[in-house]
């Protein structure tokens, strides 16, 4: 028996209860990223089918000098969700060839990742000053105001794709309101492509994405003492062309009930009933441009890889937005 009164519920508890009680059932994708899920995501980024990370890296490596040139002089780089800063190194190196000093503010929720980011970037040379910021974006972006100078805010990795379009506009708009007219945004978006390539990227042959998806259930078992039987759910990845997004689900393989005692919840699943765990939106340049415009930016340049699989957009803060 669990003494519920003595347990502090995690901050996501209400969202989980609401999502599992709704029709269709949902769970928030932020739950993917505990320590196990973050390690699994790192593994995903190295999978042959998951082209996104290496393609974005290829653009950054091949176009870093051109990008640095477009940014002008005396730029401070702020990277949202920087992780270990693998991608940003080439851009920082290019900037350091044009500026006497480059300040880099990697922002992340994980102290451990920021520690690695600092070590990695500092090894590039003494001209780059690394100032890690531990922040949770759900608390807003006010910390951007305290970073002086002309800023490039980088939001890479197609993370914007995990927001529904209105939420993406609202989030980019929130960032915009903390920026000055001289500041810029560098945004990574994945692009629409063949269904077979998209589905393979989210349903890989080694089953790592399946493990990543099921880790949500494992996490609820660990943290909420739920009794999800992981073998009784399967990972489903579907391309929805109408909404231009990959949809990720966990599908119940049988009729079953699951107990979440800390939430005083018993959830019934019909056979084939699904829990919607994630959307990953895929853009076209026009839709990305429109999203940026609606959030108060003006697109100035888009860089692509050789296959047009991924795009990096540079945008100015629109005067009077």
List interacting residues with ligand AVI (CB under 6 A): 44, 52, 157-159, 161-162, 202, 209, 278, 280
Q: How far is the CB of 44 from ligand AVI (least distance, A)?
A: 5
Nearest alpha-carbon partner for 315 in 302, 299, 293: 299
Spatial contact of 188 and 79, defined as CB atoms under 8 Å apart? no
Q: How far is the CB of 212 from ligand AVI (least distance, A)?
A: 6
Q: How far is the CB of 214 from ligand AVI (least distance, A)?
A: 12
Spatial contact of 277 and 33, defined as CB atoms under 8 Å apart? no
Query: With respect to ligand AVI, which residue has the nearer C-beta, 71 or 135?
Result: 135
Give the residue at shortest CB distance from ligand AVI.
280
Query: With respect to ligand AVI, which residue has the nearer C-beta, 183 or 305?
Result: 305
Query: With respect to ligand AVI, which residue has the nearer C-beta, 95 or 191?
Result: 191
Q: How far is the CB of 159 from ligand AVI (least distance, A)?
A: 5
Question: 245-252 and 128-130: which strand pairing?
Answer: unpaired
DSSP 8-state class, residue 31? G
Q: Considering just the CA atoms, what is the radius of gyration of the chain in Å?
A: 21
Query: With respect to ligand AVI, which residue has the nearer C-beta, 63 or 245?
Result: 245
Q: How far is the CB of 165 from ligand AVI (least distance, A)?
A: 15
Spatial contact of 193 and 160, defined as CB atoms under 8 Å apart? no
Q: Where are the strands (E) in 86-135, listed by range?
A: 102-108, 128-130, 133-134
Q: How far is the CB of 266 from ligand AVI (least distance, A)?
A: 29
Judge if the upstream peptide bond of residue 56 is cis by omega within 30 degrees of 0: no
Whole-angstrom CA distances from 300 to 48, 55, 184, 219, 285 are 32, 21, 10, 42, 12
Query: With respect to ligand AVI, which residue has the nearer C-beta, 123 or 196?
Result: 196
Tell me the C-alpha distance between 101 and 127, whole Å: 5
Query: With respect to ligand AVI, which residue has the nearer C-beta, 167 or 270?
Result: 167
The two tokens of residue 241 are 């062309």
Coil, strand or helix at 26: strand
Q: How far is the CB of 104 from ligand AVI (least distance, A)?
A: 21
- Return the bridge partners of 154, or none: 79, 186
Query: With respect to ligand AVI, which residue has the nearer C-beta, 79 or 278?
Result: 278
């Amino acid at each position: 028996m669990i003494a519920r009164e003595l347990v502090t519920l995690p901050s996501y508890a209400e969202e989980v209860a609401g999502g599992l009680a709704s029709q269709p059932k949902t769970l928030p994708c932020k739950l993917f990223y505990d320590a196990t899920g973050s390690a699994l995501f790192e593994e995903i980024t190295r999978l042959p089918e998951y082209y996104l990370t290496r393609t974005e890296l290829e653009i950054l490596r091949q176009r870093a000098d051109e990008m640095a040139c477009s940014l002008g002089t005396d730029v401070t780089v702020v990277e949202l969700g920087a992780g270990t800063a693998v991608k940003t190194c080439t851009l920082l190196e290019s900037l350091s060839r044009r500026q006497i000093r480059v300040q880099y503010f990697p922002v992340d929720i994980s102290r451990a990742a920021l520690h690695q980011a600092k070590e990695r970037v500092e090894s590039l040379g003494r001209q780059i000053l690394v100032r890690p910021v531990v922040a949770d974006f759900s608390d807003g972006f006010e910390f951007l105001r305290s970073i002086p100078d002309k800023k490039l805010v980088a939001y890479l990795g197609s993370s914007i794709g995990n927001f529904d379009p209105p939420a993406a506009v609202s989030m980019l708009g929130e960032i915009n309101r903390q920026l000055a007219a001289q500041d810029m945004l560098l945004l990574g978006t994945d692009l629409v492509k063949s269904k077979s390539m998209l589905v393979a990227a989210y349903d890989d042959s080694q089953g790592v994405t399946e493990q990543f998806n099921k880790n949500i259930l494992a996490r609820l078992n660990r943290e909420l003492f739920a009794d999800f039987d992981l073998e009784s759910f399967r990972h489903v990845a579907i391309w929805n062309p109408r909404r231009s997004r990959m949809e990720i689900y966990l599908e119940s393989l049988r009729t079953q009930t699951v107990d979440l005692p800390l939430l005083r919840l018993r959830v019934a699943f019909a056979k084939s009933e699904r829990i919607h765990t994630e959307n990953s939106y895929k853009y076209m340049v026009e839709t990305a441009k429109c999203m940026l415009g609606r959030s108060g930016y003006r697109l100035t340049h888009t860089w692509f890889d050789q296959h047009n699989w991924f795009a990096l957009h540079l945008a100015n803060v629109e005067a009077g937005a």
